Amino acid sequence: MISLNFIDEKIARQQIVLLDGATGTELEQRGVPMNSAAWSAEAILTAPEIVQAVHEDYIRAGADIITSNSFSLAKHMLIRAGLEAEFQRLNAASVTLALKAREKVANNPVAIAGSIAPTTFCADPRKCYPPLSDAFSWYEQQALILAEAGADLLIIEMIEDITQGSLAVEAAVKTGLPVWLGFSCRRKASGELMLWEFEHTLAEGIKALAPFGGDAALIMHTETRDAAEAFAILSARWHGKRGVYAHSGRFIMPNWQFSNVISPEAYARAAMQWVEMGAHIIGGCCGIGPAHIRLLKEVLS
């Protein structure tokens, strides 16, 4: 574990903290087959060298923080993929690969964020969330494995459901590591920005999760074109460290569709707007790769 003081120091100097881009969709770009039930989970077993290479490329591009490839390693996802027995090993290995990448190529401090996603890959997520009797303990187990393997912070990605999201945040906070909250939203036909589950507004979701003790909050896995409005909603309700890592393209399980993915130049222009609105942390989600992060590094420095 490294000290995260460099992150707060950067923010105090009014510099932007740069996150990496997507891990899962970048693996797909490099030809790693995606699992039909648990998306990028198996890459840890089938293509560890490519997972490590993706982390290395983000560090070389200038990322201050890289994210473990554990988005799809929540216990409820692995159970559906028949990989439950690998829960401990895959989660620990996801952090080990990020640590190896850091040791090999980092010349500056780089933090490792352990990713935990209280979401599902099911058309009707309510059928696939962990049962309420087990959810807290499953998220807690994953958080502890990631922490013990060497994650410097935990990031709860794709907060789309208030109940599952708050259980995951509460479990992660128990490890004592800083916990970052990643809210995902999309636009209703009526125009309103909703949490991804479409039942609560983004504003309601942020209000509900804020008391659980996160260290930073971000808009993530949200269309790039919606991110500025979403970030304004976040900024009105979250006064601590905050930021954006948006996506571009769309998901047809188990593959991200890259046609029409935003160019690095256009993404950097969008990011400058988020910075002007007060974002401290910027990165990229699905569809956003090392070329986008490299240009962000240039533009934001």
The encoded tokens of residue 47 equal 């293509």
Q: Shortest distance, CB of residue 21 to Zn ion, whole angstroms?
A: 10
Listed ranges 60-68, 114-122, 228-236, 278-286: which one lies at the site for Zn ion (CB under 5 A):
278-286
Q: Shortest distance, CB of residue 158 to Zn ion, whole angstroms?
A: 7
Q: Shortest distance, CB of residue 221 to Zn ion, whole angstroms?
A: 4
Q: Which is nearer to Zn ion, 87 or 256 (CB)?
A: 256
Whole-angstrom Cα distance, residue 115 to residue 97?
A: 13
Q: Which is nearer to Zn ion, 21 or 214 (CB)?
A: 21
Binding mask 217-256 for Zn ion (x = CB under 5 A): ----x-------------------------x---------
Cβ(128)–Cβ(80) below 8 Å: yes
Task: Tell me, by CB under 5 A, how many residues bind Zn ion.
Answer: 4
Listed ranges 140-148, 209-217, 230-238, 283-291: which one lies at the site for Zn ion (CB under 5 A):
283-291
Helix, strand, coil tally for the chain in percent (to 5): 45, 20, 35
Whole-angstrom Cα distance, residue 42 to residue 285?
A: 19
Q: Where are the alpha helices (DSSP H) in 106-190?
A: 132-149, 162-173
Closest CA to 146 of 69, 52, 63: 69
Q: Are strands 216-223 and 255-257 parallel, antiparallel or unpaired?
A: unpaired
Whole-angstrom Cα distance, residue 5 to residue 24?
A: 28
Q: Shortest distance, CB of residue 122 to Zn ion, whole angstroms?
A: 17
Listed ranges 13-21, 35-43, 175-183, 284-292: which one lies at the site for Zn ion (CB under 5 A):
284-292
The residues in 96-115 that bind Zn ion, with binding defined as CB under 5 A, are none
Q: Which is nearer to Zn ion, 100 or 186 (CB)?
A: 186
Q: Shortest distance, CB of residue 93 to Zn ion, whole angstroms?
A: 21
Whole-angstrom CA distances from 279 to 10, 79, 245, 284 are: 13, 37, 10, 13
Q: Shortest distance, CB of residue 26 to Zn ion, whole angstroms?
A: 11
Q: Is 252 exposed, middle or buried (0-12, 13-18, 19+ CB in 10 A)?
A: exposed
Listed ranges 44-52, 85-93, 140-148, 216-224: which one lies at the site for Zn ion (CB under 5 A):
216-224
Q: Which residues contact 207 (CB under 8 A, 6 or more apart)?
A: 237
Q: Shortest distance, CB of residue 230 to Zn ion, whole angstroms?
A: 14
Q: Does 288 bind Zn ion (CB under 5 A)?
A: no
Q: Angle 223-225-229 (CA atoms, 0-180°, nearest 5)?
A: 100
Q: Which is nearer to Zn ion, 169 or 286 (CB)?
A: 286
Q: Angle 284-257-272 (CA atoms, 0-180°, nearest 5)?
A: 25
Among 81, 83, 193, 286, interactor with Zn ion by CB under 5 A: 286
Q: Residue length, the chain? A: 301
Listed ranges 147-155, 185-193, 213-221, 270-278: which one lies at the site for Zn ion (CB under 5 A):
213-221
Q: Shortest distance, CB of residue 208 to Zn ion, whole angstroms?
A: 22
Among 285, 288, 293, 295, interactor with Zn ion by CB under 5 A: 285
Q: With residue 97 as reference, give the H or E element that holds it.
A: helix 87-105
Q: Which residues bind Zn ion (CB under 5 A)?
A: 221, 247, 285-286
